[in-house]
């Protein structure tokens, strides 16, 4: 199961981050790689964000988040992924992770309860841009620190921008240090003065929040949260350090479309700039040429079978598919040149969606056996 350049990239890595634009196959790839690592004998967990319903069902994932479940070995074996390891999966819930983070950072139970019960806090995860990205990496960090798994594979959130999550720890630190937060902290039982200051994310919360105790809630929340700022800041730094360390590797997932390839190339550069360890580029859903011998013989056979008009239509369709395949192949080669020798894996468009463990086995076979 595990040969080729991707196996070499993953060798000795404990954290594998699958990143890329939305809809390109991050969740699928992350789950397939985790399954392959498990088949290789590692105790592996895939942290997924938005598994398609049928994939979640196939893995046996419950609806509620942050619960590690083990995918039964028999199910993996049936998909050609038999091995001595274990595959675990978890659907990340940003809100739950935030709650856990508050609980572990709060100086005492009273502060913890005050923050968790605070209406402002309940609105915050939406207002704090990038919190989902941050919380995904927070969970990753926590599980890595606990040491319960040999390998953690993170499926990153469907960010508006694939780069968002890279900046998430920094953004949390900036939020903590932001002027608006300082205003709330220093104003104690806050006066109305700060309303005029246009305090960005905070104002967005204000707009949505209602109730007579608003100001008291705000002051209480920001005082308690602000008191945990150092803890959060340290934590954000530790998360960043883990991502940049040699136990981590980033896999970029892209589709073979020209625009996606351009995005992925840009992201590759940014990753490098940020000092994050790039492992491999995965070009997913590459359309392949129709594998039939061409020429007069085929045309004659089709015509005999279907009649001339339909045969012509089929042949035209075959040509169309071949030219799409040629376009994809050219884009893959462009990306290969861009990478200058770094590994690139091309995964073909498989017939039908990849919605179960069997499909993951097929993707894993493409990732590890060929190319
Ligand atoms: N190689 C492939 N062949 C066919 N379908 C695929 C392939 N990879 C992914 N898919 C399908 O594409 C859709 C999007 O994949 P997903 O992994 O959820 O993307 P993302 O997590 O990047 O948004 C899913 O329906 C999945 O089954
Ligand atoms: Mg996804």
Kindly report, residue by residue over 237-278, the tens digit of the pLDDT.
888 899 999 999 999 999 999 999 999 999 999 899 989 999
Residue 3 neighbours by CB distance under 10 Å: 10
| Structure tokens, 345 | 């894996």
- Residue ranges with CB less than 5 Å from ion ligand 2: 26-27, 50
Indicate whether residue 156 lines ligand 1 (CB < 6 A). Answer: no
Indicate whether residue 22 lines ligand 1 (CB < 6 A). Answer: yes
Indicate whether residue 72 lines ligand 1 (CB < 6 A). Answer: no
Q: Is the pLDDT of residue 69 over 80?
A: yes
Predicted pLDDT of residue 147: 96
96 alpha carbon – ligand 1 mean position (Å): 26
Which ligand 1 atom sits closest to the C-alpha of 30?
Answer: 17
- Give CATH superfamily name and number for 4-168+229-289+341-368: P-loop containing nucleotide triphosphate hydrolases (3.40.50.300)
Give the C-alpha distances (Å, rounded to integers) separating 152 from 47, 144, 146, 359, 360: 7, 7, 12, 20, 17
Q: Are 47 and 143 in contact (CB under 8 A)?
A: yes
Q: Which band of pLDDT confidence, cut at 50, 70 and 90, is reported for residue 290?
A: confident
156 alpha carbon – ligand 1 mean position (Å): 14
pTM: 0.84
Which ligand 1 atom sits closest to the C-alpha of 349?
Answer: 3
347 alpha carbon – ligand 2 mean position (Å): 17
- Domains of the chain, residue spans: 4-168+229-289+341-368
At 175-230, the pLDDT tens digits run 667 666 666 555 443 443 444 444 445 555 655 554 445 666 777 777 777 777 77
The mean pLDDT value of the chain amounts to: 83
Q: Which band of pLDDT confidence, cut at 50, 70 and 90, is reported for residue 144?
A: very high
29 alpha carbon – ligand 2 mean position (Å): 9
Indicate whether residue 116 lines ligand 1 (CB < 6 A). Answer: no
| Measured distance CA(17)–CA(9) in Å, rounded | 12
Which ligand has the nearest atom to the CA of 24? 1
213 alpha carbon – ligand 2 mean position (Å): 39
Q: Are 257 and 331 in contact (CB under 8 A)?
A: yes
Q: Which band of pLDDT confidence, cut at 50, 70 and 90, is reported for residue 283?
A: very high
Q: Are 80 and 1 in contact (CB under 8 A)?
A: yes
| Residue among 21, 28, 35, 52 whose CB has most ligand 1 atoms within 8 A, to mutate | 28
Q: Are 40 and 1 in contact (CB under 8 A)?
A: yes
Indicate whether residue 354 lines ligand 1 (CB < 6 A). Answer: yes
Predicted pLDDT of residue 230: 75
Burial of 20 (0-12, 13-18, 19+ CB in 10 A): buried
Angle at 321 between CA 318 and CA 324, to 5 degrees: 155
**Which residue minimizes the CA distance to atom 9 of ligand 1?**
25
Give the C-alpha distances (Å, rounded to integers) separating 257 from 135, 159, 285, 287, 328: 30, 19, 10, 10, 7
Predicted pLDDT of residue 130: 56
**Which residue minimizes the CA distance to atom 25 of ligand 1?**
353
Indicate whether residue 26 lines ligand 1 (CB < 6 A). Answer: yes
| Measured distance CA(80)–CA(12) in Å, rounded | 23
Indicate whether residue 94 lines ligand 1 (CB < 6 A). Answer: no
């Amino acid at each position: 199961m595990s040969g080729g350049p991707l196996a070499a990239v993953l060798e000795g890595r404990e954290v594998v981050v699958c990143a890329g634009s939305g809809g390109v196959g991050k969740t699928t790839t992350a789950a397939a790689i985790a399954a392959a690592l498990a088949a290789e004998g590692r105790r592996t967990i895939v942290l997924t964000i938005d598994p398609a319903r049928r994939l979640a069902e196939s893995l046996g994932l419950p609806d509620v988040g942050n619960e590690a479940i083990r995918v039964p070995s028999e199910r993996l074996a049936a998909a050609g992924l038999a091995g001595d390891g274990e595959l675990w999966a978890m659907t990340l819930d940003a809100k739950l992770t935030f709650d856990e983070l508050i609980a572990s950072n709060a100086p005492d139970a009273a502060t913890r309860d005050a923050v968790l019960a605070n209406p402002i806090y309940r609105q915050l995860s939406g207002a704090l841009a990038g919190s989902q990205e941050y919380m995904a990496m927070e969970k990753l960090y926590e599980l890595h620190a606990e040491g319960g798994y040999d390998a953690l594979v993170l499926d990153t959130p469907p960010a508006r921008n694939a780069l968002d999550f890279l900046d998430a720890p920094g953004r949390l630190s900036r939020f903590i240090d932001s002027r608006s937060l300082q205003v709330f902290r220093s104003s104690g039982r806050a006066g109305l003065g700060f309303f005029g200051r246009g305090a960005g994310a905070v104002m967005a919360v204000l707009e949505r929040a209602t109730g007579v105790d608003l100001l008291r809630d705000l002051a209480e929340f920001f005082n308690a949260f602000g008191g945990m700022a150092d803890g959060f800041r340290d934590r954000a730094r530790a998360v960043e350090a883990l991502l940049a360390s040699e136990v981590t590797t980033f896999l970029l997932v892209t589709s073979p479309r020209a625009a996606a390839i351009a995005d992925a190339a840009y992201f590759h550069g940014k990753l490098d700039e940020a000092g994050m360890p790039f492992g491999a580029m995965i070009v997913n859903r590459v359309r392949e040429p129709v594998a039939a011998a061409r020429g007069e013989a085929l045309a004659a056979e089709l015509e005999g079978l279907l009649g001339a008009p339909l045969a012509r239509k089929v042949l035209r369709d075959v040509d169309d598919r071949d030219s799409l395949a040629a376009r994809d192949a050219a884009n893959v080669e462009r990306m290969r040149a861009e990478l200058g020798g770094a590994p690139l894996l091309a995964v073909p468009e498989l017939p039908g969606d990849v919605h179960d463990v069997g499909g993951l086995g097929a993707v894993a076979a493409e990732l590890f056996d060929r190319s």
